[in-house]
């Protein structure tokens, strides 16, 4: 059995207030609302989905970007989500 963590970034701050670490979701469940640009780093609304093998000492958040010198670690620790999801026409980078 494998344990992994998932990060759902750029959601509306108001809509995530009820979420707790370890909550389970089923296929088709509505997670929450996308955040507007002012809570999204001025990016258009979108979901940042990330799979994490080793959460390290992080609580409540995890880096979604990294420096070039740390890239090999994060590519290994955060596998491509499409390996599990098998979605078509979705850009993962």
Is residue 70, in this structure, part of any structural domain at all?
yes
So what's the pLDDT on residue 93? 52
What total number of domains does the chain contain?
Answer: 1
Is residue 19, in this structure, part of any structural domain at all?
yes
Per the CB < 8 A criterion, the answer to whether 40 and 63 are in contact is: no
Is residue 20, in this structure, part of any structural domain at all?
yes
Percent of the chain's residues with pLDDT above 70: 94
Who has greater pLDDT, 69 or 15? 69
pLDDT of 90 over the 80 cut? no
pLDDT of 39 over the 60 cut? yes
Is residue 92, in this structure, part of any structural domain at all?
no
Is residue 65, in this structure, part of any structural domain at all?
yes
Per the CB < 8 A criterion, the answer to whether 33 and 12 are in contact is: yes
Is residue 35, in this structure, part of any structural domain at all?
yes
Expressed as residue numbers, the domain containing 65 is 5-85
What pTM, to 2 d.p., does this model score? 0.76
So what's the pLDDT on residue 30? 83
Is residue 71, in this structure, part of any structural domain at all?
yes
Is residue 91, in this structure, part of any structural domain at all?
no
């Amino acid at each position: 059995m494998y344990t992994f963590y998932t990060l759902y970034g750029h959601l509306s701050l108001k809509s995530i207030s009820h979420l707790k670490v370890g909550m389970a979701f089923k296929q088709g469940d509505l997670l929450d609302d996308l955040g507007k640009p002012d809570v999204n780093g001025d990016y258009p609304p979108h979901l940042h989905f990330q799979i994490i093998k080793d959460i390290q000492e992080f609580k409540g958040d995890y880096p979604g970007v990294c420096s070039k010198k740390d890239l090999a670690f994060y590519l290994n620790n955060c596998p491509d989500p499409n390996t599990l999801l098998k979605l078509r026409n979705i850009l993962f980078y």
